[in-house]
């Protein structure tokens, strides 16, 4: 159970950090651009750690047991996609019911 939590935490943090860093570096000025660059670097480091835990980067050796996500990643992503689809269906039905009333 902890491996599901940790794998998704690392993946989502990495993606969100890189995206926030790109926006901050592009639209910011002065110190904001430096903060954006730091966010991008941190996001990329966490993403590399995630890939190492998912056993994609085998040249780095075996990750620690708490970070070994090999069979977990696919199940976690499928669960998140299922949750998003379920939420979108519920939102669609809610909006349809509101518009018909």
d(CA 62, CA 99): 54
pLDDT of residue 72: 82
pLDDT of residue 30: 85
d(CA 74, CA 79): 9
- For each of the chain's 101 residues, which pLDDT tens digit applies? 778 888 888 988 999 999 999 999 988 888 889 999 999 999 999 999 988 888 888 888 888 888 888 888 788 888 888 888 999 999 999 999 988 86
pLDDT of residue 11: 87
CA within 13 Å, CB half, 52: 15
Domain containing residue 56 = 2-100
pLDDT of residue 45: 96
What is the tally of structural domains in the chain? Answer: 1
pLDDT of residue 68: 84
């Amino acid at each position: 159970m902890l491996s599901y939590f940790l794998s998704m935490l690392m993946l989502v943090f990495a993606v969100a950090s890189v995206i926030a860093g790109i926006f901050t570096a592009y639209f910011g000025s002065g110190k904001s651009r430096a903060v954006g660059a730091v966010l991008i670097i941190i996001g990329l480091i966490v993403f590399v750690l995630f890939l190492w835990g998912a056993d994609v980067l085998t040249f780095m050796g075996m990750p620690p047991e708490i970070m070994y996500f090999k069979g977990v990643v696919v199940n976690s992503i499928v669960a998140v996609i299922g949750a998003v689809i379920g939420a979108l269906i519920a939102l669609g039905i809610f909006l349809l019911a509101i518009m018909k009333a």
